[in-house]
């Protein structure tokens, strides 16, 4: 199956299953291990990061559905977010904001009163679509 079909499947929120996310990631990892990922159609660069983020967001949506079906009082809400470019080891300390500032949206989400926000992706406290934030990486991917 070409990469764009995997991308489409992982965006198909209504039909998304944990097994599908696992199968997609396992397939990609196998192709990386045996060195065939580019001949299978994946981009040479950034695919690992982009695909990991697509998987995280797909998993957020699957878990959000599953956990919100818990009985009243036992519900768990799950969201994901983009912290902006943060000064950490990952960016070689070249980000624009501190880790504390990067944690702002996560803390804000965790402390929302009467948590009913679920299965969403945020950036700077705003509900957005992860493809908007990762558009460069995503374009590379598909």
Ligand X SMILES: NC(=O)c1ccc[n+]([C@@H]2O[C@H](COP(=O)([O-])OP(=O)(O)OC[C@H]3O[C@@H](n4cnc5c(N)ncnc54)[C@H](OP(=O)(O)O)[C@@H]3O)[C@@H](O)[C@H]2O)c1
Chain residues binding ligand X by CB under 6 A are: 82-83, 85-86, 88-91, 95
| Backbone phi, psi, residue 22, to 5° | -60, -45
Closest separation in Å from C-beta 110 to ligand X: 16
Tokens of 16: 């998304």
Q: Considering the complex, what minimum distance in angstroms separates the CB of residue 124 from ligand X?
A: 12
Half-sphere exposure of 136 (CA within 13 A, CB side): 3
> Which residue, chain included where needed, has tokens 């009913």?
116
Could you say which DSSP state residue 71 is in? Answer: P
Give me 23's structure tokens.
Answer: 């199968």
List active site positions: 49
Q: Which two tokens stand for residue 55?
A: 């998987």
Between 41 and 95, CB nearer to ligand X: 95
- Residue closer to ligand X by CB (options 40, 104) is 104
Shortest spacing between CB 66 and ligand X, in angstroms: 22
Closer by beta carbon to ligand X, 40 or else 131: 131
């Amino acid at each position: 199956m070409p990469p764009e079909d995997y991308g489409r499947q992982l965006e198909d929120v209504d039909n998304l299953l944990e097994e599908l996310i696992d199968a997609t990631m396992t397939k990609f990892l196998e192709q990386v291990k045996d060195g065939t990922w580019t001949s299978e159609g994946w981009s040479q660069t950034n695919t690992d990061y982009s695909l990991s983020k697509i998987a995280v967001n797909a998993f957020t949506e699957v878990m959000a559905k599953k956990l919100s079906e818990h009985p009243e009082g036992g519900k768990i809400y799950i969201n994901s977010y983009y912290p902006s470019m943060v000064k950490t080891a990952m960016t070689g300390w070249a980000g624009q904001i501190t880790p504390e500032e990067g944690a702002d949206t996560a803390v804000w989400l965790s402390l929302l009163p009467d948590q009913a926000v679920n299965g969403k992706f945020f950036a700077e406290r705003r509900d957005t679509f992860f493809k908007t934030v990762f558009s460069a990486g995503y374009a590379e991917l598909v």
